[in-house]
Structure formats: C-alpha cells, structure tokens
C-alpha cells in the first residue's frame, strides 16, 4: 500500500503493527516531533542557515511555537554558534552616571569578572569591618565596667554615647560600602554553561520585559542611592542575542512598539532605558546593548491587519512568511505520524498510561471529525493533545494499565467545546417544545442544518425553517426573519430565480415570508439555500414535506446543489435529533466518514429537483 494513498479508519487496524504506544519510539529532536508542517519546517531550516526572520500565520495549536524551538535547535547544531555566545555586562560610567556602559565578554567569563571585582572590593572593606567589630566590643564592655565599679551615671552615659556612635558608624559603613560596591559591574545576560543558543519566548511581554528597563530608586540621595547601572534590567531582545526570539500573537503589540522592534532588527543592538516617566530610571539610558537574534513572529490571519506595514516589509524583504497547514491528507504516513503524536503526548505528560492501538485509532477518528472531511486530519494538535491527556486521566482514575478506545470516547464527551455544548442544549430544548419535528408531513416546513460557532470551533445544529406564500401584491424580495447575515439574505434572494425557472411563477405576485425558527444565535452563509427553496416550493404548491428528513446545501441560480462546510458536524446534529435521513450535496459525499453511514441514511443530490422529489415525493 502506498504511503501517500488516502486511507480510511478501517485500514488502520491492518496498518498499525503496534499493540500500545509503548512500542513507538519518540524522537528526541523537536524538529522530528513536528507533524504535518513539512513546508514550514523546510523554511525554518533555510532561515536557520541564513539567519532570516520568519512570520508564521495560522490557526492556534498548529505548532508555531514548536517550529520556533526547532529553529533554535537547528542553530545549536552548529557548535561554533554556541561557542560564540556572549555574556553582557553593564559598568558604571565615570563620566556620566546616567549612561552606564554596556560591554560583552566571551560566554562564561562575565560571572568570573563580577566575582573577581567583588572579591577585590571585599578586601578593601576588610579593615573597616575589623575596626567596626572592635568598637562594638568596646561599646559593650565599657558600660559594664563602670556598672560593676559602682559608677552608674558613667555606665549610663557611656552606654548612650556608644549607642549613638555605633548608629553613626553603622550608617557610615553602609555609605562607604555602597560607594565602594558601586564600581562592581552587573551581569545582565549570563550564558555560562550553555549547550545551545538562547530561545526566548516573549509572547505577551510588556515593553519593559521586551526591551529592558531601569528600576526606580526610592533613595536617590544621602549616600544610600543604588547606582544607575545596578538598576538596569535586560530585555528579551538582549537575552535572545545570537539566538531566537519568539513572539506569538505579534498583532497585539502596539504599532509604536512594532516600530521600536523594527529598529532593533535593523540595528541589531538597542540601549536600555527607563520606561516610566515618573520613575528615577527615566533619566538612565545605557550605551547600545547587543540584540542580534532571529525573530519568529506568529499569529492568525487577523494578525496581518494589525501588523505595521514597515515591520511586515522588513520580514518580507529579509525573511520568510509561512502559512501553516490546518489539516493534512489522511494517508498511511500521516496516520503513523499521529500515532507518534499520541506517544509524544504520553511521554510529555509523564503521568498517564500508554494508549492501545484501538485508543490511538479513536484519537485519529476524532482528528478526522475535527477536520470536517473524511480524507483529512486536523493539525490543530494542541486541542487534540488535550483530548489525549483527558483520556489518560480517565483511564488512570479507573486503575487501567492502558488507555482504551472507550476512554477516548468518554473523554470526547467530557471535552465538548462550548459550541458543542450549546448545540446539544438547543437541540434538547427545541425537541422539548416541539420546535424540531422528527415525524409526519407538513406544508412549508423543512428541517435545515447549520453550524454554530466560528471557523475554528463549531458544532452542528438542526435549523427548522417555515415559509408562507399567499396571493397578493408582493414586495420586490422575499421577507426573511431570524437574525440573518448578509450572505444568508443574498442566498434567499437567489431562490426566487430558481423557482421562476422551475415553475414559471413570479414570486412578485405573492407575499412570501420565510422564518428561521428561534435562531437567537443568528444565521450566516448560504448552506440553507435548498432548505429555503424547499420550504417556499412546498408552501407555493401545497406539497407536504417529510419531517424525519433534514438537508443542507447551497443553491445556484440554475438549481444546482453546491458543496457546503461543516458537513460532518451537521450530520451529527441530525443524528443527535433522531432524524432518519439527511440530504447533502453530492460534492460533499466523499467528505463523510464511514461510521456516520451506519447511524443515518445519507442521500447525495446534484439538483433542487432531486431535493424536492426526496422531500415531497413530487417531480418537477
């Protein structure tokens, strides 16, 4: 069997040779753990070789952060790059205390420099400490001498005097010590003992965390102030020097921050200064600190609208833009990769049992379902990893040695998205109040199918539609209610052209009302077109429609039934509602997994004529 041939769930029982995921070897390299993003991984390798910046755009949970870590891993394979890492120190400036000096040293030497200078300073203060201890002993024994000699006045006077002296000396010692210690540099970035280049995740970092900051000093005079260079804090851009800086949801950065980051990318260095105008640190600005990193920025499609044109231009001109895959063909190769993914999640979690072959197949079945098409598997693996961990927790709570398929099924029921929970709620309520009817015949009433939620998270829903057509001077267009969106309204208008073509009836002679029953969540898209057309034709011709039937499909003005999205979720909603048959576009027929055919009759159609014949038994 070719590894690139599209397969089915049933094929997996013969393809998988393992009994449990214990037998599956998990690669150590991050780059070999990434699934379904071969094109993106190839670009990451090129970016590592040429030190180019990368912008990753795609759905959440598709592996963007893993790709960024893989880039750092690939860079680290060049041991010369690791050896060339630098420690960053900040020194006091003898000419301008508000402009500390940034210096770099070979990896591992920065800490030694600071420790050596601290040792020298402690040597300088050693005699002063001895003198302080001597005075402390004198101040303790002198009052005692006068006390035992019977001279209580002198005992009290010397005690008070020595206490005042010791307080003064203590304060003086602190001042002197601070003055001496202020010459010790501060280690900003310590790369000692590193075996790989830095990888810094700055997702959600505010400006101070990203670019560095200078802390406020409450004691700004009197000898107790903290030297300016000791208050300098390195930013993520400096910690990532000669490594990788990863920023997810890059569009959340304000435009001015993006421009500041652009300056860093251009100059490869950036000074550190106080970010708050009310802070004493606002007066401090260091010399430029090195910030030569490879940027991996990430986000979703909406992120592109929020990127500053100059910032994006820099990446396009000196790097790569990558659109992440959100699904992958269901082949033998991808199935084996998904089995590896389950084994990886077990290893990462480290406290759940391994999965049996049947449990892995059930996980892949869910990946197929979430893709919305039989021939594909979803690559939103973070969400799928949550299912794996929950199934593991369930099996562990039951005291099982391995996770079985029934545990995965139970986990799926417990891990329903909000949209899926809402769908179940709506279906139960509509059935309870007989909004959804599952038997008999009615004129002008049709069970449509829709999805609730967004492109990323959605669930199927049975959507009853009613139509009334009465003689009289009608309006120029069909009146439709039910919180319809723009595309849904346009689809309804197109229905009149189909009816005129099929029946020679001009709907302008009638008053036509269409109602989507209790659609508080709103309706958008054109997948209800055949439902609306069937309801209007039923009302116009007084043809009863089967109520044990549901349908979905877009309708062209020529009467052709066109494909729609969310076909699996819609069929599942029909099954949940106890309907007996569902009409789908023939173009979607091959998207439907085999197991759904065992639960409901699925009838593919090409034209509205076929829809009407199945729904009403009439030929047009």
pLDDT at 16: 95
12: domain CATH number is 1.10.8.60
Question: What single string gives the DSSP state of each residue in 200-264?
Answer: EE-TT--HHHHH-EE---S--STT-PPPGGGGEE--HHHHTTTSEEEESSGGGS-HHHHHHHHHH
Q: Which residue has the higher pLDDT, 495 or 325?
A: 325
Residue pLDDT, tens place only, 54-74: 999 999 999 999 999 999 999
Q: Number of C-alpha atoms within 13 angstroms, CB side, residue 119?
A: 6
One domain, residues 366 and 290:
no
Q: Is the pLDDT of residue 485 over 70?
A: no
Q: Is the pLDDT of residue 566 over 70?
A: yes
Q: Residue 132's pLDDT band (boundaries 50, 70, 90)?
A: low
pLDDT at 11: 94
One domain, residues 432 and 392:
no
pLDDT at 177: 60
Give the pLDDT mean for 334-340: 96
Q: List CB contacts of 84: < 8 A, sequence separation 6 or more.
A: 107, 242
* Cα-to-chain-centroid distance, residue 95: 48
Q: Is the pLDDT of residue 224 over 70?
A: no
**Choice among 76, 334, 527, 554 that is catalytic:** 527
pLDDT at 104: 95
Question: What single string gives the DSSP state of each residue in 65-116?
Answer: HHHHHHHHHHHHTSHHHHHT-EEEEEE--SS-TTSPEEEEEETTHHHHHHHH
**Which of 214-223, 370-379, 491-500 is predicted most confidently?**
370-379
pLDDT at 119: 83
Least reliable range by pLDDT among 142-156, 410-424, 439-453, 534-548: 142-156
pLDDT at 470: 82
Give the pLDDT mean for 453-460: 71
Q: Is the pLDDT of residue 412 over 80?
A: yes
- Is the Cα torsion angle 382, 386, 388, 393 positive or negative in sign? positive
Q: Is 527 a catalytic residue?
A: yes
Q: What share of the chain is helix, strand, coil (3-state, %, to 5)?
A: 50, 20, 35
One domain, residues 559 and 432:
yes
Percentage of residues in the chain with pLDDT exceeding 90?
58
Element (H, E) at 329: strand 327-329
One domain, residues 439 and 401:
no
Position 353 in a domain: yes
Give the pLDDT mean for 508-522: 73
Position 386 in a domain: yes
**Angle at CA of residue 498, ends 496 and 504, nearest 5°:** 85
d(C-alpha 73, C-alpha 196), whole Å: 7
* Cα-to-chain-centroid distance, residue 172: 55
Residue pLDDT, tens place only, 270-281: 999 998 877 777
Query: What tokens were used for 6?
Result: 């599209």
Q: Is the pLDDT of residue 297 over 70?
A: yes
Q: Is the pLDDT of residue 134 over 80?
A: no
pLDDT at 476: 58
Q: Residue 523's pLDDT band (boundaries 50, 70, 90)?
A: low
Residues belonging to the chain: 620
Identify the domain containing residue 241 by its residue range.
Answer: 82-104+194-323
Percentage of residues in the chain with pLDDT exceeding 70?
86
d(C-alpha 59, C-alpha 324), whole Å: 7
C-beta atoms surrounding 400 within 10 Å = 15
- Is the Cα torsion angle 584, 587, 591, 593 positive or negative in sign? positive
Measuring CA to CA, which residue among 527, 530, 531 is closest to residue 517?
531
Give the pLDDT mean for 34-38: 95
d(C-alpha 333, C-alpha 356), whole Å: 19
pLDDT at 157: 77
Position 241 in a domain: yes
pLDDT at 584: 95
Q: Residue 33's pLDDT band (boundaries 50, 70, 90)?
A: very high
Position 127 in a domain: yes
Q: Is the pLDDT of residue 216 over 80?
A: yes
Q: Among 415, 440, 467, where does a domain finish?
A: 415
d(C-alpha 194, C-alpha 198), whole Å: 8
One domain, residues 4 and 97:
no
d(C-alpha 84, C-alpha 175), whole Å: 40
Q: Residue 397's pLDDT band (boundaries 50, 70, 90)?
A: very high
Q: Which residue has the higher pLDDT, 595 or 244?
A: 244
One domain, residues 561 and 467:
yes
One domain, residues 4 and 144:
no
Position 57 in a domain: no
Position 440 in a domain: yes
End-to-end CA distance of the chain: 46
One domain, residues 405 and 286:
no
One domain, residues 277 and 408:
no
**Which of 144-153, 163-172, 295-304 is predicted most confidently?**
295-304
Q: Residue 508's pLDDT band (boundaries 50, 70, 90)?
A: confident
pLDDT at 602: 96
Q: Is 83 a catalytic residue?
A: no
Give the pLDDT mean for 227-250: 94
pLDDT at 56: 96
pLDDT at 406: 96
Q: Is the pLDDT of residue 212 over 70?
A: yes
Least reliable range by pLDDT among 70-84, 177-191, 245-259: 177-191
pLDDT at 521: 56
Element (H, E) at 545: strand 544-546
Residue pLDDT, tens place only, 83-126: 999 999 999 998 998 999 999 999 999 999 988 888 877 676 66
**Number of structural domains in the chain:** 4
**Choice among 326, 538, 570, 577 that is catalytic:** 570
pLDDT at 435: 76
* pTM as predicted: 0.81
Position 27 in a domain: no
- For 577, which DSSP code? T
Give the pLDDT mean for 223-250: 90
Q: Number of C-alpha atoms within 13 angstroms, CB side, residue 329?
A: 9
Give the pLDDT mean for 10-24: 95
Contact 485, 452 (CB under 8 A): no
Write down the mean pLDDT value for the chain. 86
Q: Among 382, 415, 448, where does a domain finish?
A: 415
Q: Number of C-alpha atoms within 13 angstroms, CB side, residue 275?
A: 16
One domain, residues 440 and 469:
yes
Strands 101-106 and 86-91, by their bridges, are antiparallel
Element (H, E) at 441: strand 441-443
Contact 4, 333 (CB under 8 A): yes
300: domain CATH number is 3.40.50.300
Q: List CB contacts of 134: < 8 A, sequence separation 6 or more.
A: none
Q: Residue 334's pLDDT band (boundaries 50, 70, 90)?
A: very high
Least reliable range by pLDDT among 277-291, 462-476, 529-543: 462-476
d(C-alpha 300, C-alpha 124), whole Å: 58
Place of tokens 């402009």: 99
One domain, residues 227 and 301:
yes
Least reliable range by pLDDT among 220-224, 311-315, 452-456: 220-224
Give the pLDDT mean for 456-468: 83
Q: Which residue has the higher pLDDT, 358 or 429?
A: 358
pLDDT at 128: 64
Q: Is the pLDDT of residue 148 over 60?
A: yes
pLDDT at 434: 59
One domain, residues 310 and 440:
no
Q: Among 304, 323, 342, where does a domain finish?
A: 323
Element (H, E) at 550: strand 549-551
Give the pLDDT mean for 180-194: 86
């Amino acid at each position: 069997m070719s590894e690139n041939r599209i397969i089915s769930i049933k094929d997996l029982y013969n393809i998988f040779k393992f009994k449990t995921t214990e037998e599956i070897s998990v690669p150590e390299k991050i780059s070999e753990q990434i699934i379904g993003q071969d094109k993106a991984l190839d670009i990451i390798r090129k970016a590592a070789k040429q030190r180019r910046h990368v912008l990753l755009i795609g759905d959440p949970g598709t592996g963007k952060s893993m790709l960024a870590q893989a880039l750092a891993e690939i860079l680290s394979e060049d041991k010369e790059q690791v050896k060339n890492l630098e420690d960053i120190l900040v020194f006091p400036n003898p000419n301008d205390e508000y402009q500390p000096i940034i210096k770099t040293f070979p990896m591992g030497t920065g800490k030694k420099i600071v420790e050596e200078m601290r040792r020298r300073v402690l040597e300088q203060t050693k005699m002063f400490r001895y003198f302080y201890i001597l005075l402390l002993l004198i101040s303790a024994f002198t009052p005692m001498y006068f006390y035992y000699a019977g001279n209580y006045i002198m005992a009290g006077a010397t005690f008070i005097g020595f206490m005042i002296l010791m307080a003064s000396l203590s304060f003086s010692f602190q001042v002197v010590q601070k003055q001496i210690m202020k010459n010790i540099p501060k280690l900003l970035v310590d790369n000692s003992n590193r075996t790989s280049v830095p990888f810094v995740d700055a997702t959600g970092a505010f400006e101070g965390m990203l670019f560095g900051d200078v802390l406020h000093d409450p004691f700004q005079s009197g000898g107790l102030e903290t030297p300016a260079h000791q208050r300098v804090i390195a930013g993520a851009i400096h910690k990532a020097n000669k490594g990788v800086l990863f920023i997810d949801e890059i569009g959340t950065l304000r435009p001015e921050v993006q421009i500041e980051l652009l300056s860093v990318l251009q100059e490869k260095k950036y000074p550190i200064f106080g970010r708050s105008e009310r802070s004493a640190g606002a007066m401090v600005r260091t010399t430029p600190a090195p910030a030569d990193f490879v940027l991996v920025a990430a986000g979703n499609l909406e992120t592109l609208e929020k990127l500053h044109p100059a910032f994006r231009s820099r990446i396009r001109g000196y790097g790569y833009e990558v659109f992440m895959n959100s699904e992958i063909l269901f082949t033998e190769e991808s199935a084996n990769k998904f089995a590896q993914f389950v084994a990886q999640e077990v290893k990462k979690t480290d406290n759940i049992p391994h999965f049996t072959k049947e449990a892995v197949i059930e996980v892949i079945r869910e990946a197929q379902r979430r893709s919305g098409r039989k021939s594909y598997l979803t690559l939103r693996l973070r969400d799928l990893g949550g299912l794996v961990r929950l199934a593991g927790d369930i099996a562990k709570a039951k005291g099982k040695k391995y996770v079985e398929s029934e545990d995965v099924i139970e986990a799926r029921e417990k891990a329903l998205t909000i949209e899926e929970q809402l769908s179940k709620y709506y279906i139960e309520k509509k059935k309870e109040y007989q909004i959804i009817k599952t038997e008999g015949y009615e004129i002008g009433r049709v069970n449509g199918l829709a999805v609730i939620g967004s492109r990323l998270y959605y669930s199927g829903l049975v959507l009853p539609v009613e139509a009334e057509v009465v003689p009289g001077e009608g309006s120029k267009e069909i009146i439709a209610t039910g919180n319809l969106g723009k595309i849904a309204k346009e689809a309804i208008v197109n229905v009149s052209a189909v009816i005129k073509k099929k029946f020679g009836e001009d709907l302008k002679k009638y008053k036509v009302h269409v109602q989507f029953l209790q659609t508080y969540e709103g309706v958008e898209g054109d997948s209800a077109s055949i439902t609306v057309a069937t309801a209007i034709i039923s009302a116009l011709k007084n043809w009863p429609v089967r109520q044990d039937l549901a349908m979905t499909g877009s309708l062209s003005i020529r009467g052709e039934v066109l494909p729609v999205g969310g076909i699996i979720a819609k069929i599942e909603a029909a099954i949940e509602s106890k309907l007996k048959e569902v009409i789908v576009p023939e173009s979607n027929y091959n998207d439907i997994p085999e197991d759904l055919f065992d639960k409901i009759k699925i009838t593919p159609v090409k034209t509205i004529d076929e829809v009407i014949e199945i729904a009403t038994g009439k030929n047009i």
